[in-house]
Amino acid sequence: MDVMAAANKLEAEGARVLHMEVGQPGMPVPDHVRVAAEDALASGKLGYTEARGMPILRNALIKHYAEHYGVDVADERIVVTTGSSAGFNLAFLAAFDPGDRVALTAPGYPAYRNILKALGLIPVEIEVGPETRWALTPEHIEKAHAEAPLKGVLVASPANPTGTMMTPEALKDLVEACEAKGIWFISDEIYHGLSYEVQEETALRFSQKAIIINSFSKYYCMTGWRIGWMILPEELVRPVERIAQSLYISAPQLSQIAAAAAFEVKDDLERVKAVYQENRAILLDGLAAAGFDEVMPVDGAFYAYVGVRKFSNDSLDFCKRMLEEISVASTPGADFDPAHGAGYMRFSFAGPTEDIREAMTRLKSWTANF
């Protein structure tokens, strides 16, 4: 966000900044979704809903899991949330007590760590690398759990910032290892739908005790609508429902109506994904041409996590210079990995294709001078 603020300042001064810093779809919500919201708004009949969400949206989610994953989900286990951010708050509050330890990957999404700390929980960041395709393994969990008991493990696949995915076999092994030790497994599936080599797998396939958190923000292009969902083990449904009633009452009804309509526009959303896929190819070719030789596997999402140690030992300074000198905005790695993030940066390729192409042209010319 600091990078985006600096980029906006440059734009206000007349520069043409190419934005590759923020993890937000560059496409608007499909027209059908917008019209559904407009019709609901025109009715003037918006108000509170059930804390678990409107039946029309829960039914759409049941159908989605059956069609996309071949998994049956009971209506009673679905909770609609105010974005995935609310889902994390609710999961952490319902499943853990202050002082509990929760394992995360490093690099990883910084909000996990920040929310856990704000709630008096202890994030246990475990460094991952190429030997495990940047994923946690049962061996990681065994070691961390032996040092002091873990109460939870949180995994995203595809991941932010790397874009890497766990294989179904690796996910199954990790889920089952956690369940065997009585450790809650939280699966952040917010980037599901955005995979480029193989289809993603839900942790629900391997355990009915997994806590699933997802959102309409990424694949569905609905970041500003602040709408997401959870699939919960039966014993957590009522605790989450009570906490949600106290914290949020319910997710916005207007957003719930729009989200239900989003399941009716798969063709539109797949066209958006095709743009990301083209952008991905341009980015990977461009990074190689610019001399970046350390790029994590970009299996999904719309990110590339890139080593900059060939050019700099300080990615914050590198990103600052890149913005100032060639007006390309990217995100330094320090927030994603406090220990080693200074050697990395993240590019988002969710923007317009012509911007990705031009950014790579600028980058190649710029790095040639290093």
Per-residue pLDDT of the chain (370 residues; tens, 9 = 90+): 788 888 889 989 999 999 999 889 989 999 999 999 999 999 999 999 999 999 999 999 999 999 999 999 999 999 999 999 999 999 999 999 999 999 999 999 999 999 999 999 999 999 999 999 999 999 999 999 999 999 999 999 999 999 999 999 999 999 999 999 999 999 999 999 999 988 899 999 999 999 999 999 999 999 999 999 999 999 999 999 999 999 999 999 999 999 999 999 999 999 999 999 999 999 999 999 999 999 999 999 999 999 999 999 999 999 999 999 999 999 999 999 999 999 999 999 999 999 999 999 999 999 999 8
pLDDT at 270: 97
Tokens in use for 26? 């560059």
Class of domain 2-29+267-367: alpha beta
Helix axes 83-95, 110-118, angle to 10 degrees: 50
Numbered ranges of CATH 3.40.640.10 in the chain = 45-264
Question: Going by C-beta distance under 8 Å and a sequence separation of 6 or more, which residues neighbour residue 125?
Answer: 104, 105, 106, 108, 113, 337, 338, 339
CATH (residue range 45-264): 3.40.640.10
- In the 8-state DSSP scheme, what is residue 210? P
pLDDT at 57: 98
Distance CA 299, CA 309 (A): 23
Q: Based on DSSP, count helices (H) and strands (E) in the chain, helices before strands.
A: 12, 12
pLDDT at 1: 74
Numbered ranges of CATH 3.90.1150.10 in the chain = 2-29+267-367
The pTM for the full model equals 0.95
pLDDT at 197: 86
